[in-house]
Amino acid sequence: MRDYEPYFTEDGSIGLYSYAQKDVFHSKFGALTEAWEKFVLPANLDIYDFENLKVLDVCYGIGYNTKALMSFLINNIKFKKKNIFQKLFYIVAIGVNKIFRSNKQLLSYIESISSNKKYSFQIDCLDINEELVQLSPLFRTVKTPGEIYDSAVPQILTCFESYYTIRNLFVDLLTKFMPKNKKEINELLDLKFKNMHIEKEYKINSYVNYILLNNLSEYFGKEYPSKELKKMMREKKNRRFFDNSLIKYAKFNQKWGYNKSSGCNLSTFLHNIYYATLSRRYKKMNFKTAQSLFNINFYVDDARKTILTLNNEYDLIFLDAFTYTKAPQLWTVEFIAELYKRISPQGLLMTYSTSALVRNTLLENKFYVGNIYHKKTNKIIGTIASKDKTKIEHPLTPYEIGLCNTKAGIPYHDPTLSFDKKDIIEFREYEFRHSDLMSSSKYMKLRSMKKDENEEI
């Protein structure tokens, strides 16, 4: 039996269901969307402000967070690297107002034209699961919101008809290849994300991904690509929906059998990023640039062990572990303390969790803690933390801090960074039972009663 079952998330990127964990790894609304909204955008990166960046991706999985960040950096540098005439043309063509939201940005942009920065980015990726890290290059992700807006959206509108023909064809085919346990996956997704709403801003329906092609080649066997599909692929108006490298890959697969890339192969990984982000015309040059820009290291082991071997100071830390009830090991006071030691004075830690327990664990480690808001819906979608108070745009409110001080905020402990999950949970349950703290439900009730009286509790 397979270990993982892929499913399509609503933005077109692939999510994974794990048979061992009996759980889905990625949000129903979009694996890629989540990476952008909870990890890349909240970092508020302005490429003109720095040359180097050190990033720690805790729980790399199949790498959406790292890949989305790489995409962001590559695309911003690509823009910066245009020569002065191209830049002026770009500014005039798209309109100064659309590109620059403030004078500060305009000034720093003009300054940057004369500066000659040498960018270099280090990303350290931690995951316990070797198989996922090896599969990672096969999952394409990357499109920036800017790209989607500037290219995909108008294209989709102008070629409405062909777009929907192709989509419908794939919907048809997909129903034939749906995961075996589709029902269970759907139920899990509905349960886990039932109260969430995320704008589907980062749609990437316009490409055919490896999994689909694998399935297609399996389905059609020797007949793949079928006449019908071949004809469609050849039509000029449809070409943008197909990526030649993917089609070749599928043909190769059909001939030689499925063989995932061996080891954590940086070239394959970058190649994958490259195809999704860089222009074909500057193929070689840009691929080399990407290779020289990034230094990516994979550490496949328990993150609690790996962290002790790392001596870097990170500007960004992505903490994307399973929820604390499933994987308390990476949410303990002691593990977060190790992250605190390794974050730069102005560095930012991002996580999707908004729980009182996680927030209190960050607070206990002397982090300043705040909310990540969804840019459009203004809903709270994650937590951001830093050693520097000024880096927190939306600090926790007194109400939220109060919630952290209830029983719900009692943190996990793992003094040797090697305790079993069961022991970590039991230890907390013991503390919970013997604690004098108020329960979170009582706190919330009291707060709502005292709201009108404007009293603190």
Ligand X SMILES: C[S@@+](CC[C@H](N)C(=O)[O-])C[C@H]1O[C@@H](n2cnc3c(N)ncnc32)[C@H](O)[C@@H]1O
302 contributes a contact to ligand X by CB under 6 A: yes
Output the CA torsion sign for 308, 312, 313, 316.
Answer: negative
Which run of H or E residues covers position 18? strand 14-18
Distance CA 208, CA 247 (A): 9
Site for ligand X (CB under 6 A): which residue of 224, 322, 368, 427? Answer: 322
Which run of H or E residues covers position 153? helix 153-158
Count the neighbouring beta carbons within 10 Å of the beta carbon of residue 423.
13
Site for ligand X (CB under 6 A): which residue of 7, 17, 29, 64? Answer: 64
65 contributes a contact to ligand X by CB under 6 A: yes
Please, which residue, 16 or 403, has the CB nearer to ligand X? 16
Distance CA 278, CA 180 (A): 35
321 contributes a contact to ligand X by CB under 6 A: yes
Q: Which stretch binds ligand X (CB under 6 A): 63-71, 215-223, 362-370, 391-399?
A: 63-71
37 contributes a contact to ligand X by CB under 6 A: no
Closest to 196 (Cα-Cα) out of 12, 43, 32, 380 = 380
Q: Which stretch binds ligand X (CB under 6 A): 82-90, 263-271, 316-324, 364-372?
A: 316-324
Q: Which stretch binds ligand X (CB under 6 A): 200-208, 327-335, 361-369, 376-384?
A: 327-335
CB of 61: closest distance to ligand X in angstroms? 3
Q: Which stretch binds ligand X (CB under 6 A): 323-331, 375-383, 434-442, 447-455?
A: 323-331
55 contributes a contact to ligand X by CB under 6 A: no
62 contributes a contact to ligand X by CB under 6 A: yes
Q: Show contacts with ligand X in window 114-173 (CB under 6 A).
A: 126-129, 132
Site for ligand X (CB under 6 A): which residue of 293, 327, 380, 417? Answer: 327
Residue number of the CB atom closest to ligand X: 61
9 Cβ partners below 8 Å, 6+ apart? 15, 26, 27, 28, 29, 30, 31, 32, 33
Site for ligand X (CB under 6 A): which residue of 12, 30, 42, 63? Answer: 63
Q: How far is the first Cα of the chain from the last one, in angstroms, to the nearest whole number? A: 55
**DSSP code at position 151:** I
- Asked if 59 and 330 touch (Cβ cutoff 8 Å), the reply is yes
Site for ligand X (CB under 6 A): which residue of 6, 12, 30, 61? Answer: 61
CB of 64: closest distance to ligand X in angstroms? 3
CB of 430: closest distance to ligand X in angstroms? 23
Q: Are strands 343-351 and 380-386 parallel, antiparallel or unpaired?
A: antiparallel
345 cis-preceded (ω within 30 degrees of 0): no
286 contributes a contact to ligand X by CB under 6 A: no
DSSP character string of 281-327: GGHHHHHHHHHHHEEEEEEES-HHHHHHH----EEEEEE-PSPTTT-
Binding residues for ligand X (CB under 6 A)? 25, 59-65, 126-129, 132, 302-303, 320-322, 327, 329-330
